[in-house]
Structure 1
Amino acid sequence: MSKPAHAPVPVFKLYGETTAWPTPDLIHWESIESRSRLHEWEIKPHQHGDLVQLLYVRSGRAELEVEGLVNRVERASLQVVPALCVHGFRFSDDVDGHVLTLALPLVEQVTGLLDSQALLAPACFAAGDSQPYLDTLFEAISREYARQEPGRELMLQSLISVLLVWIGRRALERTRSDTQQQDRGRLHLQEFTRLLEQHFREHLPIEHYAQRLGISAAHLNALCRRLAGQSALQMINQRLLLEAKRCLVYTAMTINQVSDSLGFSEPAYFSRFFKRGTGQSPKAFRIAR
């Protein structure tokens, strides 16, 4: 779905339409199949200036690209496409689902009442156990949209409000989960730092620390890079270098004694390690200080 860098992204009112909004409502509903079939199951990348789209893939397969991020969907999922987000879709020819397009004034009105920012950022939510609920809700929206019954506008807005509450709650759950993961990550890093302070002279492998923390070595490395800007091994080496510098500057220990106190098997190995980390030999570092 990539496009040439020089090609402008078309701004559509509704999919490929550049004409006026095709309905007196602030809402437009259609099935995924009815539109995508006309375009050979692919909607090219484009954006909407003042529309928000909610794409519910009930069954079939889809590739949903929004702002360069592609979600490959094989189970019921709901994609949020905020206004001005560049997006394009590919569908299997057995796709079943709904496209709900909301004019920005309606979105602002409803989200203001709900105190939710869930429609301001693109997101894809797996339906999971909520699929029967979402199936029923979208079917109700489609039926109400197709009829001209008394109270139609109020009913549509009410149904959409229910849908936006569901989206807002899922977005909040995701935010809380991300926050909890970040908090756990910080706790793991703190514990790693504490263990490192106790055992850095023992030259323990990263796997040992990870096992003590109850996580994998890869996870520990990822946490260190994300929260400390260094790999776990770099943190171990930096702690060794710090202690070596302290010994060389503040004690009368010989280089061999410093090497031995830091757990190196040979002074020559310590000297290579120190020079690799500082650019100087231990002796040159001591003289310079």
Structure 2
Amino acid sequence: MLVNKSIDIPYQQLPFKGQFNVAPLGTFRNELTDQPHRHDHFQIIWITRGKGRHMVDFVWYEVEDNMIFLLRPGQVHQLDCEREGHFLYFTEQFYFTNKHDKETLYDFTNLFDNWHGYAPITISDHTSTSLHGLISLMAQEKTTAPHCSQGIVKHYLNAFLLLIEREKKRNAAETMMPFTHDARVVQLRRLLEQHYRTEHQVGFYANAFALTPKRLNEITKETAGRTVTELLHDRIVLESKRNLAFSHKSVKEICYELGFEDPAYFSRFFKNNTGISPQDFRDMMFK
């Protein structure tokens, strides 16, 4: 059970100004901190010492020392653990201020993708030392306001993200999970995020790349291990679960919001993908 009553999933507002910040874990707590909530920015939670569990989009993960959780805007999470460490948040607008940034800075959006399934990243002791140094540099630069240089902070953050990506690849190699990158799949994720409520046909997404549906499916199957339809259905099911678990919306309302015209068909779709009906899923969450 996640919470004891159905609520609209809140966006937690942090008491910091600007589009970037770094602070120790535990700096800020309110009534939402230990309840399911989400943020409208990218967030990195680095637990240097911890014990307990952390839920991300309905899956609980056991917390270990030197573990990093990467959260995209809108992902629902809930901390249920003792923890020490750091958190960073930033917006895409902060990181990519202009076209020049797009050409010179690392495209972190792929790092936050979870095509192969979400998983926290275990950090090696060697990398941990480097990350601690970058945290200190970013925090120190922030204290120089109003003379803080956004460019300097972005380059520290750039190095921080690159080190995390290397650790993610190391984790994948140790678990025999492939770690591949295709810019078209990154763009497809963005398209799915924008249109999954209204566009349910593969042809719409294939046309955006001037590809046939068959070819786009081959690309996503090779890179993500899933077809476009499977990726689309995964996203629809996730949003369905979020609404069923954390809102007062009826199944019919959720159905229409996600682009389905027939509530009965939506219920069959949900059951085919989860093994349980929408109402049974909602009831199960609050037993």
Q: Does residue 178 of the first structure (1) align with residue 169 of the second (2)?
A: no
Q: Does residue 167 of the first structure (1) align with residue 164 of the second (2)?
A: yes
Q: Does residue 47 of the first structure (1) align with residue 34 of the second (2)?
A: no
Moved more, 157-166 or 140-149: 140-149
Structure 1 residue 11, shift from structure 2 partner: 2.0
- Secondary structure at the aligned position of 1:65 is classed as strand
Structure 1 residue 44, shift from structure 2 partner: 1.3
**Residue in 1 that maps onto 2:255:** none
**Residue in 2 that maps onto 1:124:** 120
The CA deviation string for residues 188-236 of structure 1, in whole angstroms up to 9 with x for no partner, is xxxxxxxxxxxxxxxxxxxxxxxxxxxxxxxxxxxxxxxxxxxxxxxxx
Q: Is the 8 A contact 2:141 2:148 kept in 1?
A: no
Q: Is the 8 A contact 2:47 2:84 kept in 1?
A: yes
The CA deviation string for residues 157-209 of structure 1, in whole angstroms up to 9 with x for no partner, is 111101111222233444553139xxxxxxxxxxxxxxxxxxxxxxxxxxxxx
Taking the aligned partners of 1:68 and 1:139, their CA distance within structure 2 comes to 33
Give 5+ residue unaligned stretches, structure 2: 180-287
**How many matched pairs?**
168
Instruction: Give the aligned residue type for 1:178.
Output: M
Taking the aligned partners of 1:75 and 1:111, their CA distance within structure 2 comes to 34
Structure 1 residue 120, shift from structure 2 partner: 3.1
Please report the RMSD computed on the Cα atoms of aligned residues, expressed in angstroms.
2.9
Greater RCO (Cα-Cα under 8 Å, separation 6 or more): 2
Q: Is the 8 A contact 1:32 1:98 kept in 2?
A: yes
Structure 1 residue 125, shift from structure 2 partner: 0.8
- Secondary structure at the aligned position of 1:35 is classed as coil
**Residue in 2 that maps onto 1:153:** 150
Q: Is the 8 A contact 2:111 2:165 kept in 1?
A: yes
Q: Percent identity?
A: 15
**Residue in 2 that maps onto 1:68:** 58
**Residue in 2 that maps onto 1:243:** none
Taking the aligned partners of 2:55 and 2:148, their CA distance within structure 1 comes to 36
Instruction: Give the aligned residue type for 2:26.
Output: E
The CA deviation string for residues 100-121 of structure 1, in whole angstroms up to 9 with x for no partner, is 1111323556787324501233
**Residue in 2 that maps onto 1:96:** 84
Taking the aligned partners of 1:5 and 1:111, their CA distance within structure 2 comes to 43
Q: Is the 8 A contact 1:47 1:85 kept in 2?
A: yes
Instruction: Give the aligned residue type for 1:56.
Output: W
Q: Structure 2 length normalisation: TM-score? A: 0.51
Instruction: Give the aligned residue type for 1:106.
Output: F
From the CA coordinates, give the structure whose radius of gyration is larger: 1
**Residue in 1 that maps onto 2:13:** 13
- Of Structure 1 and Structure 2, the greater helix share is in 1
Q: Is the 8 A contact 2:67 2:123 kept in 1?
A: yes
Structure 1 residue 39, shift from structure 2 partner: 5.2
- Secondary structure at the aligned position of 2:120 is classed as strand
Taking the aligned partners of 2:157 and 2:135, their CA distance within structure 1 comes to 9
- Secondary structure at the aligned position of 2:178 is classed as helix
